Amino acid sequence: MSYNIGYFVGSLASNSINRVVSKALIALAPENLSFTEIQIGNLPLYSADYDADYPEAGTALKKAIEASDGLLFISPEFNRSIPGALKNAIDWGSRPWGTNSFARKPTGLLGASPGAIGTAVMQSSMRSVLSFLDAPQLNSPEVYLQYRPEDFGEDGSISNPDTEKFLAHYIGEYAAFVERVLDSTAAGHIGDEGM
């Protein structure tokens, strides 16, 4: 089976280190995964006023999420929490009430930061949000990456063999998780695979 993975980069910065990490992760992924970035930079701030007549950007976001077999969030940590642009996109994707596009999508979460905690607090916040959205999560392995520029090329190449091995292990485990969750969903139930 092949799976289309939608991925979010939680930073809007043109020189985002998490975008570099996303390229590295995609390059290491098993062949049965293909990737489509879900853009978040063109969304207005979410308001329930839009629910009766969703704008094109919100509808496109929901369609991209729904077309994905699984979702990856690759994000920095802003002020010990989820970056505003990413949280805004999540709010758009979960509304209007009763049309949560994230439900039952197997998700993976990782992030890079120059600091030693490597986005751990943001990921804790994200896990609460994803749980509420009924999005099964890969809980282990975890990736709290302290970003070192010398380890990554702009094209996503990795010069540090330990980092390459670590990220390859993560994306391999994520691929297996997607398959488990979707198999159990197709069988009519979701077990406790990392939920």
Q: 5-30: per-residue pLDDT in tens?
A: 999 999 999 999 999 999 999 999 99
Domain boundary assignment for the chain: 3-186
Query: Quick one: average pLDDT of 117-142?
Result: 96
Each residue's pLDDT tens digit, 27-59: 999 999 999 999 999 999 999 999 999 999 999
Each residue's pLDDT tens digit, 167-189: 999 999 999 999 999 998 777 65
The residue written with tokens 């390859």 in the block is 168
CATH 3.40.630.40 assigned to 3-186: no
How far from 74 is each of 25, 30, 59, 109, 139, CA to CA, in Å? 10, 18, 22, 6, 15
Say yes or no to pLDDT of 195 above 50: no
